[in-house]
Amino acid sequence: MNKVIIMGASSGMGKELAQLFYDAGWTVGIAARRIDCLNKWREENLIRNFPASNGSQARTSTIHTAQIDVCSDGAPAQLLDLIERMGGVDLYLHVSGVGKINQELQEDIELNTVNTNGMGFVRMVGTAYRYMAVHGGGHIAVISSIAGTKGLGPAPAYSATKSMQNIYIQSLEQLANSRKLNIKFTDLRPGFVDTPLLNGGSYPMLMNQKTVAAKMFHAIMRHEHVRVIDWRWSVLVALWKLVPNWIWRRIPLKR
């Protein structure tokens, strides 16, 4: 049975993807800071699929939970402990992240974004990479963003960290290939998705999280290297790349 660990699965896209993998028959390891949300999801699925007590016990081993804060120095050891409890991992899926509009450059928001999306990302993805490098390979998938395409003035730290994630995964893929490691990579780059991360704000071309999760699931299963979701954002991203930097930095922003 295939095994997936999803980091940042307590709500939003991580929770949706956990459901898709579980329904597809995978052994699922879900991790986040809010362990109560993870345990609730676990119990709901056990009851839904195996209402009889003996059936529930038989299925228990296919859902594992772990309370992990990616910003903690102890997070790598906790991830390795989860992998050990599951008996290995085939796919590591990194969903955990934060993001806020911050045109006023509030320092606490910027630093928390860099710590979570930057340091936390490297900490956890790097741990998964090192494990797979010595255990026969695997698949690492991450949810970054179209925000990493160009510097976005309304969210400087968010845009910068998403660009870093894109480059980091590209670098790891080159490193793995040069060492002939059997590790695959998928970089998922959605536009605006209606998840708790956006806090109900008004955003252009807002996408339904269930629809986006399904597209991500299929992209992962096909081992796509990079996937921009959806086609409208693919067109927009292509146009962004054509805009010279001297024009881009002069585009006025709404306040």
What single DSSP character describes residue 150?
S
- Burial class (CB within 10 angstroms; exposed 0-12, middle 13-18, buried 19+) of 71: middle
Q: Reply yes or no on whether the pLDDT at 191 is more than 60.
A: yes
Strand partners, 30: 6, 65
Instruction: Evaluate the omega torsion of the peptide bond into residue 230 and state whether it is cis, within 30 degrees of 0.
Output: yes
Cβ-contact 163, 142 below 8 angstroms = no
Ramachandran angles phi, psi of 10, nearest 5° = -80, -20
Q: Residue 196: pLDDT band by 50, 70, 90 thresholds?
A: low
DSSP SS3 for 152: coil
Provide the pLDDT for residue 58. 46
Residue 126 belongs to a domain: yes
Mean pLDDT across the stretch 122-128? 98
Q: What are the structure tokens assigned to 21, written together?
A: 């993998």
Provide the pLDDT for residue 207. 77
Q: Which residue has the higher pLDDT, 205 or 183?
A: 183
Q: Reply yes or no on whether the pLDDT at 195 is more than 70.
A: no
Closest by CA to 92, choosing from 74, 79, 81, is 79
Q: Residue 28: pLDDT band by 50, 70, 90 thresholds?
A: very high
CATH code of residue 85: 3.40.50.720
- Mean pLDDT score of the chain: 89
**Lowest model confidence (mean pLDDT) among 14-18, 57-61, 187-191:** 57-61
Scan for tokens 């993998």, then name that residue. Answer: 21
Q: Reply yes or no on whether the pLDDT at 201 is more than 60.
A: no
Q: How far is CA 36 from the centre of its chain?
A: 20
Provide the pLDDT for residue 98. 92
> pLDDT per residue over 7-26, tens digit each?
999 988 999 999 999 999 99
The CA radius of gyration of the chain, in Å to the nearest whole number, is 18
- CA separation for the pair 126, 141 (Å, rounded): 12
Mean pLDDT across the stretch 153-171? 94
Q: Reply yes or no on whether the pLDDT at 157 is more than 80.
A: yes
- If one counts every other C-beta atom within 10 angstroms of the C-beta of residue 213, the result is 23
Structural domains counted in the chain? 1
Q: Reply yes or no on whether the pLDDT at 56 is more than 60.
A: no
Prediction pTM value: 0.90
Q: Reply yes or no on whether the pLDDT at 205 is more than 70.
A: no
Q: Could you tell me what percent of the chain has a pLDDT over 90?
A: 64
Residue 52 belongs to a domain: no
Residue 73 belongs to a domain: yes
Mean pLDDT across the stretch 33-60? 74
Residue 79 belongs to a domain: yes
Residue 54 belongs to a domain: no
Mean pLDDT across the stretch 51-77? 78
Provide the pLDDT for residue 252. 74
Mean pLDDT across the stretch 103-124? 96
Q: Which residue has the higher pLDDT, 132 or 104?
A: 132
DSSP SS3 for 190: strand
Closest by CA to 187, choosing from 219, 234, 153, is 219
Scan for tokens 């998938």, then name that residue. Answer: 141
What residues make up the domain containing 145?
3-46+61-249
Mean pLDDT across the stretch 101-105? 88
Residue 254 belongs to a domain: no
Residue 32 belongs to a domain: yes
- CA separation for the pair 198, 190 (Å, rounded): 13
Q: Residue 192: pLDDT band by 50, 70, 90 thresholds?
A: confident
Scan for tokens 């008996």, then name that residue. Answer: 87
